[in-house]
Amino acid sequence: MNETKPYQVIGTRPIRHDGVDKVTGRAVYGADVQLPGLLHGRILRSPYAHALIRSIDVKPALAVPGVAAVVTAHDLPEPGNRIAELGEGAINLRHLSCNTLARDKVLYKGHAVAAVAAVSAHVAEEALALIKVDYQPLHPVIDVQTAMRDGAPILHEDLVTESLAGMSGPNGNGKLTNVAKHFQFKLGDPAQGFAGAAVVVERSFKTATVHQGYIEPHNATAQWNADGTVTVWCSTQGAFTVRAQLAELLQLPISRIKVVPTEIGGGFGGKIRVYLEPVAAALSRKAGRPVKVLMNRAEVFEGTGPTPGSFLRVKMGADKGGRLTAAEAYLAYEAGAFPGSPVGAGAMCVFACYDIPNVFIDGYDVVVNKPATSAYRAPGATNAAFAVESVVDEICERLQLDPLDFRLENAAREGTRRADGPVNPRIGMVETVEAAKAHPHYNAPLQGPNRGRGVASGFWFNIGLKSSATVSVNADGTVNLVEGSTDIGGTRTSLAMQLAEVLGLRAEDVRPVVGDTDMVGYTDVTGGSRVTFATGWAVYEAGQDIKRQLSARAAQIWDVKPEDVSYDGGVLTCRTDPAKRFTFKELAGKLHATGGTIVGQASVDPPGAGGAFATHIVDVEVDPDTGKVTILRYTAVQDCGRAIHPSYVEGQIQGGAVQGIGWALNEEYVYNDKGVMTNASFLDYRMPTSLDLPMIDAVIVEVPNPGHPYGVRGVGEVPIVPPPGAIANAIYRAVGVRMPELPMSPGRVLREVLTSKR
C-alpha cells in the first residue's frame, strides 16, 4: 500500500462514466432489449402456498391464436439431486430447477408453474388463464418456529437435517423435517464466562420477511439459435453466474451459452439466482424465435427471493467493569421454500464487533412456505445485529455505562478471534466508535419529550472471489477497460480510477465497459462487497501488465534494457539517460510502429478481503398516541479502508442506512393464514421515501485493508446492519420500552407502550 505518496486519482470525485447515458435515457436495461421476431412471455403462478400438482393441461392455451409455445417443468431436463457452486454459495440443482418451474408440488403462493410465449403480452396473458392446473391444497407453514415443531406440515418428502453428526432426521430419529441444517460454533467456555458475569441479559427477538425493493423488475430475453447456442440478455448481478446456472438447468456446455448483462436497476443481492432466464430459453427453443419475459411488481414480491424472517435468542454477560465475559446466540432463519437461508453468515457476524472470550452460537436453516430467500445487503447480519445491539444497550443501562465507551472497551481488534474461526487482521471497529463518539451529533443536546438517541454497531466480512479484466492502449493515449462485474453502484468508475492511478492517467482517460461472458474472463457476482476490492485488484494487475509492456517498448526505442526504464506518474524515463522520456500519450502514439497494440490482462482470486465495521447514531421522536417513529437525525460512521470515490462511498452508506431504516420501522411481508401475501405492491409494502427521512450524515473512516494494494474494503453491505438496533435503542430512550420484533411499526410500538403502562 502507498501510505506516504499522495494519490492523484484515488480519493477524487470525477463524474461517473455511465452518467450521461443514464440521465439521457440511452442506457439499455433488460426490458429495453428488442430483437427481430420477438415474442412475449408470461408465467402462470400458483394461487396456493402449498399444494400438490395433480396435472397440468396446456392444450387450451396452445389453441389461442398468436400463441407460439407453452412450457412446464417437464420441458426442462431433470438435473438430479446434485450440489453445485453457482454464485455466492452452493445450491441444490433440483431445488433451483423446481423453483424456476414447479414439478410435482408448489411451495409458495406465486410459485411458477407454466409459461406461454405469444405475439403480444396480452395474448400470452389470455392464454395463461386457459391453462388448467389440478391442485391438491395442503396446509402451509409460514413461520420458522411453527415449521420446527413436531407435527408441522412437511414441505419436502426427502429433506433430512444436515448437522455436525452428518445427514439425519431431527435429533437423529430419521423423521422428515423442515430443518435443513443445524450447526454450532463455540469459543472458550461460555458457562464459566457467565458464572463470572455481574450482569447477564437474555432476550428473544423476531424479524419479518422483507424485500430488497429494487426499482427494476426482473427480466430476461433469450434467443435459442439454430446452431444450438443460446444468447440471453438480462439484468443480473453476475453474467457468469447466470451462464453457469443455465448450463446446469438446460444441460448445455457453458461454451454454447452467452449471457449479455444489461444495465441493472438495483439488485442488493436479489438478482443472482435465475428465475426467468431458463423459462425464456425453453420458450425460445420451442418457438424458434426470441422470447422476452418480464415480471410485474406483484410477481417480484411473491416470486423472487426476499430476506429471511427469523427468530433469535441472545444471551450476553459482562463483569462490573463493563467487560463482556460470555455470549450465546440461537439463530433460526427462514430459508423459504428451499434450503439456503443466510443463517451461516448471520452466525459469522452476530458477535463479530466484540472481543468476547467465551461464545456459543446455535444456527438453524428452516424451510417454510414462502419464496426461497436471497441475499440482501449483508445477508443474515442485520437480523443478528438487531438482537445483539439491543442486548448490549440493556447491559450498558444496567451498568450505567456510556454505550460507546462500552463498545470501545469490548471492540474487536487486530488479533481478535471470531467464534467461527477467523482471526482479525487490521480492522477499524475501534476507529468507527471513536469517530462516532467525537461526532457533533453524539455530543449535541437532545431536547423535548418522547425523544431518544440510540447507537449500534455492525459488521460484514466481505468476500474476494474471482475477477478478470482486460486493458488495451489506444493511440491517442487513452485506454479501454473491459471487466466482468455488473455495475450497480458506480463500480465502472471506481475501477477506472484504480487503473488510472496505476498508469498515471486521468480517470476520464479510461473508458470502462462491462463485458458479456464471451468478452472477458470469468468474473464472480457483483455481491459480497467484492467488486471494488477484487475486480479492482484485477484492474490493478492488468495496469501493472501495461506498465511492463510500455517499459519494454520504450527500452526498444532507446536501445536499453527494460529494467533501465522507470515508470512514474504516467511518464517513462531512461535511468541511464534522464533526458530520454515519454509521456504515456507520446508512447501510445508510437505503438503501431514498434510492434502493435498493447493489451494488458489479469485474472485474480485474491484473499484478504478484510472485514468492514460501522457505528450508527440516530435520534428519534415517538408519538405516544400513534406509535409512529420519526427519524430526527442520523449519522453513519464506517471504515471503508480507502475511499476510491468518496461520493460513491457516501452514497452506499446513505443508501444502506435508508434500507435498514425501512427494515426497522415499516417493511414486512404480511401473510394471511393461507400463506398469501396481502401487501404485494409498493402501495402497501411501506418503504421509506425522501419525505420520511432527514439528511443522513455519512462519515468515512479509512483504516487501510492490508489485503489490497490500495487498502480497499467493501462498503456496500455493512451500512444496512446497524439501523434496526440503533433505532430500537433510541425508541427505548424515548419512551422506555424495548422492542423485540421488526418492524417497529406504529401499531407494535403503541402496543408495547400501552403494555408498559399497565
3-state secondary structure of 333: strand
The reported pLDDT for the residue numbered 391 is 99
> What is the C-alpha to C-alpha distance for residues 253 and 244, in angstroms, rounded to an integer?
9
Comparing CA positions, the residue from 78, 80, 75, 66 lying closest to residue 282 is: 75
**Cα–Cα distance for residue pair 374/36, rounded to 1 Å:** 34
CA distance 654 to 667: 18
Q: Answer whether residue 67 shows pLDDT above 70.
A: yes
C-alpha cell belonging to residue 367: 424451510
Residues 6+ apart with CB under 8 A from 611: 352, 424, 427, 459, 460, 461, 462, 713
Average pLDDT in the 632-651 region?
98
- Band the pLDDT of 491: cuts 50, 70, 90: very high
What's the rounded Cα separation, in Å, for the pair 724 and 659? 10
Residue whose entry in the numeric block shows the C-alpha cell 415443531: 149
pLDDT in tens, 351-397: 999 999 999 999 999 999 999 999 999 999 999 999 999 999 999 99
| Per-residue confidence band for 174, with pLDDT thresholds at 50, 70 and 90 | low
Single out the residue of 500, 501, 515, 505 nearest to residue 470, CA to CA.
Answer: 515
For residues 591 and 600, the answer to whether their CB atoms sit within 8 Å is no
Q: What are phi and psi of 470, to 5 degrees?
A: -130, 135
DSSP-derived secondary structure letter, 418: P
Asked whether the predicted pLDDT for residue 185 surpasses 60, the reply is: yes
The confidence band for 1, taking pLDDT boundaries of 50, 70 and 90, is very low
The strand pairing partners of 318, in sequence order, are 199, 324
How many percent of the chain have pLDDT more than 90? 95
**To 5 degrees, how large is the angle CA 247–CA 601–CA 576?**
170
- Side chain identity, residue 362: D
Mean pLDDT of 618-631: 97
Average pLDDT over residues 639-644: 98
Closest CA to 467 of 712, 700, 296: 712
Count of C-beta atoms within a 10 Å radius of residue 549: 17
Q: How confident is the model at residue 2 (pLDDT cuts 50, 70, 90)?
A: very low
Q: Can you say how many angstroms the Cα of residue 485 is from the centroid of all Cα atoms in its chain?
A: 14
Alpha-carbon torsion 24, 215, 728, 373, what sign? negative
Measured CA to CA, the distance from residue 313 to residue 176 in angstroms comes to 25
In this prediction, residue 167 carries a pLDDT of 61
Please give the pLDDT value at position 757. 84
Contact 279, 41 (CB under 8 A): yes
Q: Within 13 A of 500's CA, how many CA atoms are on the CB side?
A: 24
- pLDDT of 171 reads 46
What confidence tens digit (pLDDT) does each residue in 528-581 have?
Answer: 999 999 999 999 999 999 999 999 999 999 999 999 999 999 999 999 999 999
Mean pLDDT of the 464-491 span = 97
Which helix (H) or strand (E) segment holds residue 659: the answer is helix 646-665
Q: Output phi, psi for 140, to 5 deg.
A: -90, 160
Residue 442: how many other CB atoms lie within 10 Å: 18
Average pLDDT for residues 232-251, to the nearest whole number? 97
The pLDDT value recorded for residue 427 is: 97
Q: For position 169, what pLDDT does the model report?
A: 52
For 345, phi then psi, to 5°, come to: -65, -40
- Percent of the chain that is helix, strand, coil (3-state, to 5): 30, 25, 45
Residue 168 predicted with pLDDT over 70: no
From 19, 225, 247, 50, select the one nearest 137 (Cα to Cα).
50
Decide if pLDDT at 44 tops 80: yes
DSSP classification of residue 354: B
Give 253: exposed, middle or buried? Use CB within 10 Å, 0-12, 13-18, 19+: exposed
Handedness of CA 360, 209, 248, 87 (dihedral sign): negative
pLDDT at residue number 170: 45
pLDDT of 348 over the 50 cut: yes
- The C-alpha angle 355, 356, 362, rounded to 5 degrees, equals 125
Looking at residue 710, its pLDDT comes to 97
Report the chain's mean pLDDT, rounded to a whole number.
96
**SS3 per residue for 437-461:** HHCHHHHCCCCCCCEEEEEEEEEEC
Question: How is residue 401 written as a grid cell?
Answer: 455505562
What would the mean pLDDT of 395-401 be, rounded to a whole number?
98
Position 5 confidence tier, pLDDT thresholds 50, 70, 90: low
Where b means 16+ CB within 10 Å and e means fewer, 482-518 reads: bbbbbbbbbbbbbbbbbbbbbbbbbbebbebbbbbbe
Angle at 215 between CA 212 and CA 221, to 5 degrees: 105
pLDDT tens-digit profile of 691-749?
999 999 999 999 999 999 999 999 999 999 999 999 999 999 999 999 999 999 999 99
pLDDT of amino acid 195: 98
Radius of gyration (Cα) for the chain, nearest Å?
27
Q: What is the pLDDT of residue 166?
A: 66
